[in-house]
Structure 1
Amino acid sequence: MMANLIQKDREIIWHPYTQQAEMVDPLGIVSGKGTILIDTNGKKIIDAISSWWVTIHGHGHPYIAEKIYEQALQLEQVIFAGFTHEPAVRLADRLLEVLPGKMSKIFYSDNGSTAVEVALKMAIQYWRNLGDGKNPRRSKIIALKNSYHGDTFGAMSVSERGVFTLAFQDYLFDVEFIDAPTKENIDSVCDRIEQTGEVTACFIYEPLVQGAGGMIMTEQRLLNQLLEYCKSKRILCIADEVMTGFGRTGRLFASEYLSVQPDIICLSKGLTGGTMAMGVTACTAEIHSAYISADKTKTLFHGHSFTANPIACASALASMDLIMKAETFDAIRRINYQHLQFEKQLKKSVFFTEKKIQNVRVQGTILAFELESSSGNYLNTIGKKFAKLSLERNVLLRPLGNTVYILPPYCITEEESQKVYTTIIKVLGLL
């Protein structure tokens, strides 16, 4: 172990989402097992947010590690244009068996942002490829306010205009942003879509839970109604399940709660159990058929050096083996039950009655609430204070501005969950 790890880090590393002028010393982590991270001083920390929502089975899972090792010895990488390999074919086959809707093709990329980029390109070029005089040329994109779809330029364009995109506003393409549907606004939201006429190519949305936007939860009946309206207008529907996929909302995919299914689905994060970087964009046969042509300009010109990396595919297959086990969904149901009990506790607490916390909510393995604050944006410093006080008590929580959330690995024990809840109560008392 490098003796001056932190000092050297500060000299040569640029960390994400971190203002360089006020950066505090990062915490050195040497190992992880299950829900626990161990720092350079030997302190054990409960990872209550699955390390940015990816380690769904916990850290250092021996089964996934074994499959990665076996694959690394056999085939670690091969160009995926004109070549293929068994892990990629097996993974695509398994995904198509379980994905909602009528998905027919799998396109591999590197992460959640690129999965979204591919989806947008698929949808836009789909309408261009159909340009035969009978189909209108559709180019407009609709997205939800408060959405977050990634940090590449296409993904930023369909994300909420705010602090994440501020420096790049002039470079982002125009998008029609609509409110998330509620009982009060569903008719007006549909009217907004109607006003776009026949020029809308697609609608991209995070089903049921808008993650980085503040764990905003949408009622499934209303989202269904909105999707149904989009379908009636021949608008392609893109479900960004990068965060909500693989059990996060209580079912394998959040779209399973809905009767109206997407035309395109984006996946990443839990796809490989958090062990390897990988993205997937799945689409229907109808979309893929628009790219089958003697006209070579109707090709989807997109790819990545590490497209369908065999080791990443192997880790995803191992993760799927684990998530399809009955005990995994038993754990998901148990986490949900504990969250619901803690939700009741919070709503009965003095913090809720005195409005120090608001809008306590649960969806599957996700629990979230807002801290009382004059500002609800991402730069709100109350979240940093909450994170610091939690970490001092050996619990990793990373609020989104003033939104506190728990999003644990499925291997978290009842005792570890209780430790997280107790820590939250203690920290609320110190704010």
Structure 2
Amino acid sequence: MKPGTESLIRLDRQYLWHPFTQMKGWCDPAYEPLVLVEGNGAILRDSEGREYIDGNSSIWTNVHGHRHPAITAAMKAQLDKVAHVSFLGTTNEPAIRLAEKLVNLLPPGDYSRVFFTDNGSTAIEVAVKMTLQYWQLIGRPEKNRFVAFDNAYHGDTVGAASLGGVSAFTQRFAPVHFAIDRVASTDALERLDANNVAAIIIEPLVQGAAGIRLWPEGTLRRLREWCDANDVLLILDEVLTGFGRTGKMFACQHDGVRADFLCLAKGLTGGYVPLAATLTNETIYSAFLGEYKDLKTLFYGHSFCGNPVGCAAALASLEVFESEQTLAHLQEKIKHLADLLLRVRHNAYVFDTRQVGFISGIEIRKPDGTPFEWTEQTGARICQRAREYGLLTRPVLDTLVFMPPYCITKTQMDAAFVALNQAILDICQGT
């Protein structure tokens, strides 16, 4: 190991606390953390000079690949003007242009207003608060409960986590979460008393943190119909699925469904810098209008709302979608991914593969179909071994996630699956 790498790892272990990470294992001398120093396209390079295929798009965020010249140039140009200005009491051109662009990406009339925040959790938080305040403002304060699904993940702030259904992430904080109505499927909606339901929230098409679990076809349409019939708002969490991940710009476009709140983050800036957006319609927005003394104002915001550098990156990313015809070119890669998933199923330890668009999961079990003990961390050890074969990704328990940037080549995809297949055999066969 180079002296510079060794020094950085020592300092990291001395001062940092990483997210979703058991730091005892991280600090074990037998484990070598990767210090990533450079990226180009679908390739990342570490401080030792080793290169890896980015099979996880950083953390499901990177869209066009690392160091895309158009996004980099847009950010640099904005930095040469001003890095940040308050969105409380002032505005800026990149935020204005981006709001207009986002609204016009979707069918006319579906959305008319954009509220910028910092990340996926806050995009959900503001939708929750807008929902509650909306019902109060129109004289329906009894509509104050939320419906969410088993195994859902909507973020880690208290409000967003209250909606989550992954117990490992939420159980320790349950005393401060608000009560919700949790359902396993849309069939359970008919048993709810909708009179006090304010909104229902769902990750459209696929639950990511649940292990790339796909919803049955027609789920979104059925949800929209139930909401319309029962005077309930629909919140779509497209933090993961937005900006091309499912093969269309937004997952809701597969079913032609309009939400009352559309929450976006991860790929919004191409995955370059933090930015989130919550889109809503004029009916919701108009309920908040009034005199100052009426206290209808939405008292919510963050220091970096509408950050001009982030908005400039997002505008550049959307321009790349158009200039490079990204979604059109992605369709062949989606088909190639389906072929690779079909082939890897011949591995005796692959129990199931799941795919929607350019999102995929490979579930690992014993050859007889029984799961490995979760404490064995089989998925994590497979991903660790895959590093040795030039692939970076992360599992959700024993489901290996493959979700690369859209710029990845078919040759790189083939190499990634060779790495995955061999890593599965190495770990599961104990070699």
TM-score, structure 1 as length reference: 0.92
Aligned to 1:139: 144
- Judge conservation of contact 1:245–1:252 (CA < 8 Å) in 2: yes
CA shift for structure 1 position 375: 5.2
Aligned to 2:129: 121
Aligned to 1:19: 22
**Aligned with residue 8 of structure 1, among 2, 8, 11:** 11
* Partner SS state of residue 282, structure 1: strand
Aligned to 2:68: 61
Aligned equivalents of 1:136 and 1:296: distance in 2?
Answer: 16
CA shift for structure 1 position 112: 0.5
**Aligned with residue 74 of structure 1, among 57, 66, 81:** 81
Aligned to 2:394: 398
Could you report, residue by residue, the CA deviation over 1:317-355 in whole angstroms, capped at 9, with x for unpaired residues?
Answer: 0011112235311331122011111122134x142xxxx
> For residue 205 of structure 2, what is the amino acid of its counterpart?
L
**Shift in alpha-carbon separation, 1:378–1:308, aligned structure 2, 3 A:** farther
Aligned equivalents of 1:53 and 1:301: distance in 2?
Answer: 31
Aligned to 1:109: 117
Aligned to 2:300: 302
CA shift for structure 1 position 263: 0.6
- Judge conservation of contact 1:147–1:160 (CA < 8 Å) in 2: yes
RMSD over aligned Cα atoms? 1.7
**Shift in alpha-carbon separation, 1:387–1:3, aligned structure 2, 3 A:** closer
CA shift for structure 1 position 370: 1.0
CA shift for structure 1 position 377: 9.3
> For residue 219 of structure 1, what is the amino acid of its counterpart?
P
Structure 1 unpaired stretches of 5+: none
Could you report, residue by residue, the CA deviation over 1:209-259 in whole angstroms, capped at 9, with x for unpaired residues?
Answer: 111121111123133113211221011000000000000001000000113
Aligned equivalents of 2:350 and 2:177: distance in 1?
Answer: 35
Aligned equivalents of 2:16 and 2:320: distance in 1?
Answer: 34
Aligned equivalents of 1:274 and 1:153: distance in 2?
Answer: 24
Aligned pairs, number: 415
- Judge conservation of contact 1:390–1:424 (CA < 8 Å) in 2: yes
Aligned to 1:338: 336
Identity %: 37
Report whether the alignment pairs 1:236 with 2:239: no
Report whether the alignment pairs 1:43 with 2:50: yes
* Partner SS state of residue 163, structure 1: helix
- Judge conservation of contact 1:163–1:378 (CA < 8 Å) in 2: no
**Shift in alpha-carbon separation, 1:28–1:424, aligned structure 2, 3 A:** same
> For residue 36 of structure 2, what is the amino acid of its counterpart?
I
- Judge conservation of contact 1:238–1:265 (CA < 8 Å) in 2: yes
Aligned to 2:189: 190
* Partner SS state of residue 165, structure 1: helix
Aligned equivalents of 1:199 and 1:20: distance in 2?
Answer: 43
Structure 2 unpaired stretches of 5+: none
Report whether the alignment pairs 1:153 with 2:153: no
**Shift in alpha-carbon separation, 1:277–1:214, aligned structure 2, 3 A:** same
**Aligned with residue 364 of structure 1, among 357, 362, 369:** 357
CA shift for structure 1 position 273: 0.7
CA shift for structure 1 position 357: 1.9
Aligned equivalents of 2:132 and 2:375: distance in 1?
Answer: 34
Could you report, residue by residue, the CA deviation over 1:132-169 in whole angstroms, capped at 9, with x for unpaired residues?
Answer: xxx46200000111110111001100001511112211
Aligned to 1:318: 316
> For residue 326 of structure 2, what is the amino acid of its counterpart?
T
Could you report, residue by residue, the CA deviation over 1:34-67 in whole angstroms, capped at 9, with x for unpaired residues?
Answer: 1111111100000011000111111111111111
Aligned equivalents of 2:334 and 2:177: distance in 1?
Answer: 38
**Shift in alpha-carbon separation, 1:350–1:90, aligned structure 2, 3 A:** closer
Aligned equivalents of 2:374 and 2:227: distance in 1?
Answer: 31
Aligned equivalents of 1:369 and 1:30: distance in 2?
Answer: 28
